[in-house]
Chain A
């Protein structure tokens, strides 16, 4: 069923909180109500919020691990190919390819590849950069980077219902619930 047609022009609802406690309790309530397309916004990381929201652990470490191994392989292969195969470099009768002398550069390329993949992987998994978002049109949401905490439930959520969702949010937040439009 297409929810976007049903709630045309509505991105979702936004509830706001002043205290970390209220915010965490509210997140568990929304999670337990079974919503899937919703989010919590806070100006800093709140420990325990991942559990309160039921966020699954990210796959980022595996990406970074593979990138690190790639970096190590690239570092070793680069040195082997350039100094032992393509242009054999004989220095003081030392072996053309010997691992100990090649460790420092392999180490650096490992770190380089892994670090770049950590940043790029984080951005890609987060679908950033995304310079426009319906939430940005809301004036009070600007405080999400300052001192206020928000929960947004999207209209595309299968459980979203204009009345019951609003009632749920009203029951957990002491502030008026705001509607977020989908159009800029």
Chain B
């Protein structure tokens, strides 16, 4: 491109703001084949050294997680820092943290799909994968938190030796169903969207193992339009089903707190506040992962700066919502005239856990405000640092909610100060190992960009004749192919 170009959106920079020009979502000189080559190439060529280093670290940390779980199960829940009055510690904090992160994938794949946000195509596979791995990590914690893990099946409505059923009016059981449904539906959504791309890997396979493995997973997909028709419908239906689901999951998680009578927990703001926080943290994690991946695997032309910028804008919006929720909580604590509620909030901000509270406020409310400036949205290093800080802040948010309320409730005689044990900390660190191990395996073996969807939003996918604008959907201007309602 010469410098004299007058086009507002250049070939390589698609971060312009001119609403009359539809921004390119794949920049550079890429055709359909180039997209296939780039995305399949990640799986087909040997992994860079960095992948092996990362895998060595993350799989070692996974072993730490397994060792800590083994120690917990063989010794008992006393190895954690739990005490009275803080009976919910790291396990619940980590559970809520990971479930929250797991919200971005379905948000991107379902809500942004229904809102016709075409930029989602480059990052949705990636985010959905991340969602599933985060939900796996989340599922570990309540499972081991029950103490006697061999009785974890009591959570499910399975006839057992005591002839007892679980109490369906308990939010803890709603949680089992909400998270279980969410994990299942996310997995279905992820897999279904991947079928055409697995077929692409099958068709490029050079070895027998690859051919049969991807062939089996692709279920014999042959790109038939009669199949695509039902596929599209199924995708739309799943998006429509997953949209209320994704909003329900963190609402139900928040019920675990809101339905109790603990000061600081018993508030009606919790469901929307938790959902906003979940989307916030989920996008932060997507950004944290996608920035190194796009660089290492050379995907800058598919996951463009515009994608990163859009995610930064969502983080700004949801981060501000979270900040608003923090201040609303404070206001209501005062306005309600409830002494205990007011005390809890003063205690959060100025009590023994003030350090955690102000870490949370700094990372979640102040840090995302930098995204008002374009420089911070498009500079990948600054964006990455901000996203990591947001992840930290969101973990502290859950820590503040869980621990500060429990440690000082109604009776001053039963106050306490919770400190995690080394086992708590190593279990948490180990869960990152599990998350990154699964993620690295995903990058290694599966298509991390939804090729079929990205191709559909490329300019070449649209009619490009005189008289046609060349973007957007097909409008039925070939005689006989009018799009019927």
Question: Chain A nearest CB: distance from B324 CB in Å?
Answer: 26
- Whether A44 contacts B455 by the Cβ 8 Å rule is yes
Any A CB within 8 A of the CB of B116: no
Closest Cβ neighbor of B174 among chain A residues: A104
Any A CB within 8 A of the CB of B414: no
Known: A44-B453, A44-B456, A55-B226. A111 touches B232 (CB 8 A): no
Selected from B165, B453, B463, the residue in CB contact (under 8 A) with A82 is B165
Any A CB within 8 A of the CB of B63: no
**Distance between Cα atoms of A171 and B174 in the complex (Å):** 61
- Whether A51 contacts B225 by the Cβ 8 Å rule is no
- Whether A48 contacts B229 by the Cβ 8 Å rule is no
The size class of the interface chain B forms with chain A is 35 or more
- Whether B230 contacts A58 by the Cβ 8 Å rule is yes
Chain A residues with CB below 8 A from B174, complex form: 104-105, 108
From B3-11, B123-131, B275-283, B473-481, the one touching the partner chain is B473-481
**Distance between Cα atoms of A107 and B181 in the complex (Å):** 10
Known: A58-B229, A58-B230, A147-B31. A28 touches B238 (CB 8 A): no
Binary flags per residue of B222-242, CB closer than 8 Å to A gives 1, else 0: 111111111111100110011
What is the interface size of chain A, counting residues whose CB is below 8 A from a CB of the partner? 72
Question: Chain A nearest CB: distance from B107 CB in Å?
Answer: 15
Any B CB within 8 A of the CB of A156: no
**Distance between Cα atoms of A144 and B196 in the complex (Å):** 10
Selected from B169, B196, B480, the residue in CB contact (under 8 A) with A91 is B169
Q: Which of B203, B230, B242, B451 has the most CB of A within 10 A?
A: B230
- Whether B220 contacts A132 by the Cβ 8 Å rule is yes
Known: A108-B248, A111-B244, A118-B234. A101 touches B223 (CB 8 A): no
Chain A residues with CB below 8 A from B169, complex form: 83, 89, 91, 94, 101-102
Binary flags per residue of A117-140, CB closer than 8 Å to B gives 1, else 0: 011011101101111110110000
Any A CB within 8 A of the CB of B64: no
Closest Cβ neighbor of A85 among chain B residues: B165
- Whether A129 contacts B478 by the Cβ 8 Å rule is no
A→B interface (CB under 8 Å): 20-21, 24-25, 27-28, 31-32, 39-53, 55, 58, 60-61, 64, 68, 78-79, 82-83, 86-87, 89, 91, 94, 101-102, 104-105, 107-109, 111-112, 114-116, 118-119, 121-123, 125-126, 128-133, 135-136, 142-147, 150
Top 5 closest A-B pairs, CB basis? Answer: A48-B474, A147-B32, A122-B234, A129-B219, A82-B165
Known contacts A55-B226, A104-B255, A123-B219; 10 further A-B pairs (Cβ under 8 A): A21-B478, A39-B224, A41-B224, A43-B223, A46-B474, A53-B226, A61-B237, A87-B164, A105-B168, A108-B178
